[in-house]
Each structure stands twice: as structure tokens, then as C-alpha cells.
Amino acid sequence: MKTHHVPVLGFLSILALLEGACTSASTVLRVEDAGGGDATHEVEDVRDADAAHEGEDVRDADTGGDTEQTIAEIVVGSDDFEILEAAILRASPVPIMGTPTPIADVLGGPGTFTVFAPNDAAFEASGLPLATVMATPPDTLRGILLYHGLLTEVPAARVTAGAQTSIAGLPFFITTTGGVAINGGNDVRGGADVTTPDVEASTGVVHVIDRVLLPPTVEAIARYAGFTTLAGAVASQGLADRLSGAGPFTVFAPTNEAFAALPALPTGEALTNVLLYHVVGTAVRSSAIVATPAPLRTLADAPYTVGTEAPSLSLLTRLDGTTARINGVAVATADIPATNGVVHVVGEVLLPMNIVDIAEAGGFSTLVTAVGAAAPLAGGGAVAGALSAPESRFTVFATTNAAFTAAFPGGLPTDAPAVRDLLLYHVLASPTPGIVLAAGLPTTATPLPTLNGATLPFAPGSPPTVDGQGIVGTDIVGTNGVVHAVSGVLTPSP
């Protein structure tokens, strides 16, 4: 057995660690190649690698059940953890209270920890032999190592299924059916099974695992958390690498049950667009969602162009009491952090919205009521049908509920043709001018024709006013047009 002297870290340093001094790192390992340049090594799931030492009882072989040893002493004293020891040394120090501190000092100091410790066979089976570990940047190793620990002692008998927050501040996902598995177990790249639980130490407990855990990207969250339909769809459409990139991304992740509730799962390009409709190219925390409906630009393209480019389809967020909603769907679990963004779990698959869908999801309930109460169009069709038609291309100025109440304190007019004509005055004529995004709204005193037959007057501003009313929200992009919210009812001249 090897013997090493492991120094001790003070209590204040542990407090600093609790305050989040440690940061996460990417799961893509960039190592220095022989020519001195950078080479990217993707971590492979090598299930057939030699695992002769996997599951060896380190309690008997190396520690003799001596609970006076710290976690650090268990690691450095065992021949089974030579790669882990090398990784710890290479990843050190961590910045704690402004002082660079070896990770071994953290694990050897006061406090209690749970460490899921990959043995040498686990590193090899994960495509991380010693040579790769020693060529990996310390920051990357640091994030991986801190992802293997908890800031509390959890023996096997108290391990419960569900998400746990690692020392790195990132979640891993535990299942307990048929044994303890993390992130889906060793069948999932970045997951592992516990092979030897409860190696007791004076500073906590060690559970030996058979793979190296990899900090989650937004793509990996779906695999780790058991969202198998989402993960399978992302893989089938070739989106895994894109969603494992630098980001940041926000992913609204439907559960397996949400996909099962669909009449049929889209295929081909339609499935790709639905998946990208769940992804935003910025990190959006739930705290950023407020009561006023606001659009988020997704990575999905609209089925039309404005000028030479297709605009990005919008998700519509709003806070309903204390519940964050996306396209009217409640967020079930918010703010799951990843190395390259954030994931929110939703109970329905989000489908791209048309104009009427946007009005419903955006809380424009009086407008929706008015659309339903309007007289048929001159050609005999319903207003709602025209605004939902996939081949239509409209720009709609949507009046808020408060504006309708101010204009009609006694309720909407009962004259159905008058309601129809009022609504059509809020819709620009199609195909000309058709879809007008915020950047294309007139900045001079320019009238634009409406479906009512009258023209809407615009006045200069940024954004401009329309028919004397302020434009309070812009560019909610749907499958058949765009919605801008206005602060008052637009009223055509008699």
C-alpha cells in the first residue's frame, strides 16, 4: 500500500467551497497533441475495455476498514485509484478564498463529503487512460472531479432516486432500481453504476463507480434524466453535437409522457424543426419570465422568408401567478443547470404556433373572444379560420385585455359585423405588405393597408406608434405571420 502525507484544509476554506468557489467545465477534453497544438478528444463509452479490477472491494484490499482515514488518504493509499490520484494532482489547485488549494486538501480537511470514485478500470472504460488525463487541461479535469462529489455524507442506505447537486453545482441523476446508478448507469455515456458502496472515511464516504461521470451539457441532461424519447429524437436528427457546443442554450425538455401524448411523432425535417423549436440561443432562467408576455427566439425557422431570410419562430413566455408558462404550458421543473446553458422540463411537446395560437398562449383572451364573436368574412369563412390558415402571411397588431376593457368598459360590441371590421383593421393586408417585422415598421408617417380596406397610419418613433397607439411588444413570430402587441384598440375612421 502506498503512503502519502495529506495536508489538512481549514474550516473557512470549506465554507468558501460551499459558497460556490468551484466551477464546472466542458465534457469535451481538449488535450495538447505531440506537435504542441490542441486536439479534441471526445470521451467514448468503451464498454468492452478490460475491467479486471472493476468492483474490487477497496475496503478490504487497501483500507482495512479504517475509518480514521480521510477520503483523500483512501484515494492515494489504494493501487486502484492511481488515475484518479493523478487527475486530482493535475486539477489542483482550486481557488478557495483567493488561495490556490490542492483538491486533496479539501477532501482531507474537516467536513463531510460523498465521493463517487471511479477506479482505474472506470477511467479506462470511459476512454480516459492515464495519458489522456495527464494531457487534459486542469480546468477541465477540475470540473469533472468536482462533479463526482456531494457536500454531505450519504451512505448507500440513504441514497434516494432523483437529482442531486454536485460540488460543481451541476446535477446528476440517481436511480436505485437493481442497484445504484448515476446518470442512467454505465449504458449511458457519462453515467456509471456503483460497484462498491460505503467505503467509510473520517471525512465522509466513498462509493466506487465503474465509469467516469461527465458534467452535463443541455444535450446530456436528456440522456441522464431518462428523457429517452427526447434524447433519441435529438440523436436521430443529428443535433447532439450542436447541443453539446459552447452555447449558451435554453432547452425546454418534454417528458417521455409528453411525447407519448402526441397523435404521432413527426419525422424528418418536421421533427428537426420541432426539436429546435424547444431550444433558445441564450440562457433564460425562470426568474427572467415575467407577467407581460414576451417572445423568445428559437433555433427553428419559420416556413417563409422576410426579405431573404426566414425569421426564427417564437416561443411565448409569461408568468401566470407563480407559474412560468411557455406557449401556455406550465414549466414543471425549472432551472436545471448545464455546462452550456439551462434546461426547463415541460409536460407537453411545444408545437410552433399560428396567429390564433399566439393570441391564446399570450393571454390575449379578450382578443380571442372577439375573434370568435366576429361575423364571417365576405367570402364566407370565419375570422379564426383565416388567421389560422397555414398558407396565410399576416401581420397582426394584438390589443391587450386592459386596452379592450378601457375601450369597451361595458364589454365587447354585440354587432358581429362591427367586431369583424374592427379586428380586420388590426391586420395588415396580405400578400402586400404581408409580414412586417419590427425592423420593417415604418419610421416615417406612412400608412399601410389592412384587411379592413382602410389604411393604418404610423408615426415616427422607435418603435413607431400605430393609429396613435404604442407598440408594446414586437416580433412574436408564428408559422403564418407575426404579432405585435399594442397598448390600445385601433379604431378605423367612420
Q: What would the pLDDT profile of 429-486 be if each residue is shown by its tens digit?
A: 988 888 999 988 887 788 899 999 999 999 877 767 899 999 989 999 999 999 999 9
Question: Measured between alpha carbons, how far is 242 from 170 in angstroms, rounded to an integer?
Answer: 20
Q: Considering just the CA atoms, what is the radius of gyration of the chain in Å?
A: 29
Query: Mean pLDDT over all residues of the chain?
Result: 85
Q: What confidence tens digit (pLDDT) does each residue in 127-159 have?
A: 999 999 999 999 999 999 999 999 899 999 999
- Tell me: the pLDDT tens digits for 252-290? 999 999 999 999 999 999 999 999 999 999 999 999 999
Under the banding of pLDDT at 50, 70 and 90, the label for residue 100 is low
Residue 93, φ and ψ in degrees, nearest 5: -90, 165
pLDDT digits (tens, 9 = 90+) for 33-44: 333 333 333 333
Short-list 440, 490, 473, 142, CA closest to 308: 440
C-alpha grid cell for residue 210?
Answer: 465503474
Residue 184 in grid coordinates: 442512467
**Burial of 55: CB neighbours in 10 Å, binned 0-12, 13-18, 19+:** middle
The residue length of the chain stands at: 494
Which residue type, as a one-letter code, is found at position 208?
A: V
Q: Would the pLDDT of 16 be above 50?
A: no
What integer is the mean pLDDT of 199-215?
95
